[in-house]
Structure 1
């Protein structure tokens, strides 16, 4: 689905959150590789699960047409610095929910970009009749966990020793969900 763009000014940084377009494919492909190399909070290491320009264009095209998908980008001075995605499940028994994921360039952490991508996604989900948003978060990402809790997400479960990070240790993944009118 496509939503109208929203402008934000946080800590003197102006940015826009808008739906992704086909023209964003190359920038998103490059950005995802860069972000994956900046943090261990995400599932992938740099270059793992690479999505090329055409791959991103197909995802954007699909998400723009499907009422249960939403692909948003955060843009600063015509440069995409982060993105989020809600992906719906099309089996009838799961059609009430979507899965949320987000990533932002480390340089732009602290400007409320993740918070506002989440807020826009929740507004969209609530207005389209989606009853549940789910997400996974690394147990050490306390800032994200607290943000999600502030938006009504609850811890639903823990995948124990789910990820092995660069230090060689295993860490838990926390499964969170937010319910709307259930």
Structure 2
């Protein structure tokens, strides 16, 4: 965070919350939160330096002006409004648990050919994640046995094959005599 203090050479000082000190040698970096919308909904994407530079086309240092209001949005960033961008995001446990509403962007591109190529793909069904409460209470609307626990016809056939195998011994339960 910029401060009102300056060093001996008259350079502005910046406060670091991590080390609790002021520094004059800092490098401006992006931490851009983009509110994105498409036909399926909307979400907040978090872009760090390299990915933000990819779509803003300027470094954070080029856009930073210490005299500007911190809420000021540079023109290079506001030019992104309405622009089509393709994102690859990562979804982590905090997103799934609802602790974070921001998805970290792994890759971003505004390459027109690539954006159009993905736009032309047929839509895929949206899978809904359910909370643990919905699953355990049965209120999620699904009552089927999980796929991993289902027994298929193929399982029945392999069981019959196992009965005739010369390499496998079937376990037999011993019953007490009557």
Structure with greater proportional helix content: 1
Question: Higher relative CO (CA 8 A, sep ≥ 6), structure 1 or 2?
Answer: 1
Structure with greater proportional strand content: 1
- TM-score in same-fold range (> 0.5): no
Bigger Rg over Cα: 2
